Structure 1
Amino acid sequence: MDRLERIKGCLLGGAVGDALGAPVEFLEWPVIEAKYGCQGIVDFAPAFGLTGAITDDTQMMLFTAEGLLRAFVRGSAGGDCHVPSIIHHAQLRWLLTQDYPAPVVVSQDGWLIEQQALWSRRAPGTTCLTALKASQRMGAVAENNSKGNPP
Structure 2
Amino acid sequence: MEEYAQIVDKIRGALLGGAVGDALGWPIEFQSLAQIRSEYGPAGVTGFLPGRPVPHRITDDTQMTLFTAEGLLRCPAGADPIPSLRRAYLRWLDTQYHPGPGPTPDGWLATQQFLYDVRAPGNACMGGPASAAEGL
Query: With structure 1 as the length reference, what TM-score do the two structures score?
Result: 0.73
From 123, 127, 132, give the equivalent of 1:130: 127
Q: Deviations over 1:57-103 (max 9, x none)?
A: 100000000000010xx338xxxx43101011101100111117xxx
Give the whole-Å Cα distance in 1 for the aligned partners of 2:18 and 2:50.
18
From 103, 107, 110, give the equivalent of 2:107: 110
From 66, 77, 82, give the equivalent of 1:75: 77
Give the whole-Å Cα distance in 2 for the aligned partners of 1:47 and 1:92.
34
The answer on 1:24 being equivalent to 2:22 is: no
From 34, 37, 40, give the equivalent of 2:41: 37
Letter in 2 for 1:11: L
Give the whole-Å Cα distance in 2 for the aligned partners of 1:46 and 1:115.
28
Higher helix share: 2
Give the whole-Å Cα distance in 2 for the aligned partners of 1:129 and 1:6.
30
| Number of residue pairs matched by the alignment | 126
Give the whole-Å Cα distance in 2 for the aligned partners of 1:48 and 1:66.
29
Assess, with a 3 A threshold, how the Cα gap between structure 1 residues 27 and 121 changes in structure 2: closer, same or farther.
Answer: same
Assess, with a 3 A threshold, how the Cα gap between structure 1 residues 128 and 47 changes in structure 2: closer, same or farther.
Answer: farther
Query: With structure 2 as the length reference, what TM-score do the two structures score?
Result: 0.80
Give the whole-Å Cα distance in 1 for the aligned partners of 2:116 and 2:48.
21
The answer on 1:84 being equivalent to 2:86 is: no
The DSSP-based 3-state class of the residue aligned with 1:98 is: helix
State the match for 1:14 in structure 2.
18
RMSD: 2.4
Q: Which runs of 5+ in 2 are unaligned?
A: 99-103
Q: Which runs of 5+ in 1 are unaligned?
A: 101-106, 139-151
Paired residues for 1:87-98 under 5 Å: 87-98=85-96
Asked if 2 retains the 8 angstrom alpha-carbon contact of 1:95 and 1:132, the reply is yes
